[in-house]
Amino acid sequence: MAKTEQRSRLSRSRTRSAWLFLAPMLVMLLIVAAWPLGRTIWFSFTDASLDLMSEARWVGFRNYLEYVDFGDGEGQYYGLLADPRWWRSVWNTILFAAVSVSFETVFGLIIALVLNQQFRGRAFVRAAVLIPWAIPTIVSAKMWAWMLHDQFGIINDMFMALGMISEPIAWTASPETAMVAVMMVDIWKTTPFMALLILAGLQMVPGDIYEAAKLDGVPAWRVFRRLTLPLIMPAVLVAVVFRALDALRVFDIVYVLTPNTDATRTMSVYARENLFDFDQFAYGSAASTLLFVVIALITITFIMATRMDLEGKRS
Amino acid sequence: MATVELINVSKSYGNVEVLRDINLSLQKGEFVVFVGPSGCGKSTLLRMIAGLEDISGGDLLIDGKPMNDEMPAKRGIAMVFQSYALYPHMTVFENMSFGLEQAKLDKDEIKARVEKAAEMLQIEGLLDRKPKQLSGGQRQRVAIGRAITRDPRVFLFDEPLSNLDAALRVDTRLEIAGLSQRLPDTTMIYVTHDQVEAMTLADRIVVLNGGVVEQVGTPMELYERPASQFVAGFIGSPRMNFLNGAVAQAHGAECYGIRPEHIALDHENGDWRGRVILTERLGSDTFVHVNVEGIGTVNVRIEGRAEVQAGEAVHLTPDPASIHLFDARGQPVSG
């Protein structure tokens, strides 16, 4: 009796200190995440503008969708959900995220497999591979903007010299190639991040099973398909989610490399335009809120579809 | 006919020679144990036979065929790893059948082989489980089962018991001994650093030390006629007493060896006189550590309970027929 009382006192004091240690982090998250998010959602239901933030009035769903009756039996839908430019940026964002993350995963996997081998100078190569990831996005986007420049860019120069193109291409300016250019830069920049996360997964694979496979006479390709890939899949899926979350809110590369084109405008760029450039703060807030909802839906769907092991129960 | 033959086999990593002049001939169905302290090269030698390490010099023959450059899977061997090396994402059945799929056996044959091995090891109930749902002992059985399904000519064990607790180790040791009886045509090579495992399992023991073979022989040959001071000290538990100084010189040797079980203890008479420092009671035996005047500390093994206390004066008499004499290089000297 006395013993259980004592134990429960001990466990109560443990619970108390656990909350004590969690408190600073929770307060911080409330301040930097929950509060701004809550404010954004609130503004999306008001008529706020940049200079009249404090006088914002509740307008319900008007920023999202509103049917305006013209009185003569005609009418039109207004609002974010009726804006083809918004839907174009949703499509751009999803296309960008899907293509870049797919390529980054494949390239990252290949690089990780190479870096996981023993060879002379491996430490140097591992560090070198990370360079694109270490360069600030603004800097690398600007750098690529110059390399992709239609008149002075080295890319056009090289392709011309190799005879692959007959005249210079305006990579970032032409609507057909702008998205490709943005994706290319993003893949170049973020593949190292993928490689690093996948490499961490690869290093968790016990080496002895490869020896067992050697004795079983399993050819290299099947070893990869049947042993390596299933064992690193959890790590790859987590890496893909991280990257997808990042890619779905892409802003900086697009903003620097291809400003103001319908071909590459993403949800984040669209939201910023309305928030600050067009002085439609409430409308931009609505876009930001929808951006949050879209990312959340895609991520949750992906996690459910792949039955991802987020709590580490199966590992 | 010899199943496995090693002729002048050596292994070096760069300039470091870890094994040299290994000559061994293992008979069909024989159970051979490689034993030695850590770093003696025993695991490397096993891995060379398996094909997981290259052979730097000499020849490896299995069933008379040169195997130096043969792929591991083509050598007719199976191996049980120290860490079991089970495929963590596959069920027990898949672990056992994965290698057979590579060998292009048909489904029914694979199923029959896996079930036969599972029955032999009493793991039929575990076939649908994943390795992490198994205890250490069960994983070990699966690892052995996977090796059995390959129907090997040579079965290799790399310290298979070292990850098991003491009680399970004894049980599994008995099972491995039983397994070798049920597979009379399969040659078994077993690596361990534990001389008890070596003594209990082996038909023949190969003692390795510093990359060379110290002695090859049956457990009793090694116990009774150790070919070097190293073997004398390594085989037998508790360890042989090694005495230097006057007692050795009196026999014309540098070192005088006598096993604890070959010394008689008496309260009244004996060759040596000394005082008990410590007694260790194991129930079945008592180990008495005695400080002998002019000789040093001598460990004596007495069956059952020995009624001696620390500080007591006792007399010891070594059995003259069981004395081992060694010269300064650790080589035996005939008394």
Place of tokens 């500390």: B297
- β-pair type (B2-13, B16-27): antiparallel
Please tell me whether residues A14 and A146 are part of one structural domain. Answer: no
Question: At which of A48, A63, A78 does a domain end?
Answer: A63
Q: What is the pLDDT of residue A312?
A: 59
Full-model pTM: 0.80
Strand order, beta sheet including B204-209: B77-80, B154-158, B187-192, B31-35, B204-209, B212-217
What is the secondary structure of B163-189 as a DSSP string?
A: TS-HHHHHHHHHHHHHHHHH-TT-EEE
Q: How far is B88 from chain A (nearest CA, A)?
A: 8
A216, A236, A314: best mutation site toward chain B, by most B Cβ within 10 Å?
A: A216
What residues 214-253 of chain B have any CB closer than 8 A to a CB of chain A? none
Bridge partners (DSSP) listed for residue B77: B154
Please tell me whether residues A44 and A96 are part of one structural domain. Answer: no
Return d(Cα A44, Cα A64) in angstroms, integer: 8
Bridge partners (DSSP) listed for residue B34: B191, B206
A309 φ/ψ angles, rounded to the nearest 5 degrees:
-95, 80
Q: Percentage of residues in chain B with pLDDT exceeding 90?
A: 81
Please tell me whether residues A154 and A54 are part of one structural domain. Answer: no
User: For residue range A159-168, what is the model confidence (pLDDT) as tens digits?
Assistant: 999 988 888 8
Residues A53, A58, A61, A66: what is their CA dihedral angle, to the nearest 10 degrees?
-90
Question: At which of A47, A63, A79 does a domain end?
Answer: A63
Please tell me whether residues A36 and A166 are part of one structural domain. Answer: no
Domain that holds residue A124: 88-305
Please tell me whether residues A150 and A48 are part of one structural domain. Answer: no
Which of B73, B84, B88 minimises the CB distance to A215?
B73
Residue A312 within any structural domain of the chain: no
Q: What is the pLDDT of residue A49?
A: 85
Please tell me whether residues A202 and A300 are part of one structural domain. Answer: yes
Return d(Cα A291, Cα A93) in angstroms, integer: 10
* Residue B280 near residue B262, CB atoms below 8 Å: no
Return d(Cα A167, Cα A249) in angstroms, integer: 34
Q: What is the pLDDT of residue A3?
A: 59
Q: How far is B207 from chain A (nearest CA, A)?
A: 26
Residue A240 within any structural domain of the chain: yes
Residue A77 within any structural domain of the chain: no
Q: What is the pLDDT of residue A315?
A: 46
Please tell me whether residues A191 and A241 are part of one structural domain. Answer: yes
Residue A315 within any structural domain of the chain: no
Question: What is the CATH number for A183?
Answer: 1.10.3720.10
Please tell me whether residues A115 and A29 are part of one structural domain. Answer: no
For residue A107, the tally of other CB atoms under 10 A from its CB is 17
Please tell me whether residues A7 and A131 are part of one structural domain. Answer: no
Residue A71 within any structural domain of the chain: no
B89 at A interface, C-beta within 8 A: yes
For residue A46, the 8-state DSSP code is B
Q: What is the pLDDT of residue A54?
A: 81
Residue A258 within any structural domain of the chain: yes
**Average pLDDT, integer, range A198-226:** 92
The domains located in chain B, with CATH, are 2-233 (3.40.50.300), 240-326 (2.40.50.140)
- Please give the tally of structural domains in chain A: 2
Distant-in-sequence, close-in-space partners of A101: CB < 8 Å, separation ≥ 6: A240, A243, A244, A247
Q: What is the identity of the amino acid at A149?
A: H
Residue A141 within any structural domain of the chain: yes
User: For residue range A29-82, what is the model confidence (pLDDT) as tens digits?
Assistant: 999 999 999 999 999 999 888 887 788 888 888 899 888 888 887 888 888 899
Please tell me whether residues A13 and A131 are part of one structural domain. Answer: no
Return d(Cα B192, Cα B169) in angstroms, integer: 12
Q: Exposed, middle or buried, B196 (CB in 10 Å: 0-12/13-18/19+)?
A: middle
Please tell me whether residues A57 and A105 are part of one structural domain. Answer: no
Residue A137 within any structural domain of the chain: yes
Query: What ipTM, to 2 d.p.?
Result: 0.84
Please tell me whether residues A47 and A95 are part of one structural domain. Answer: no
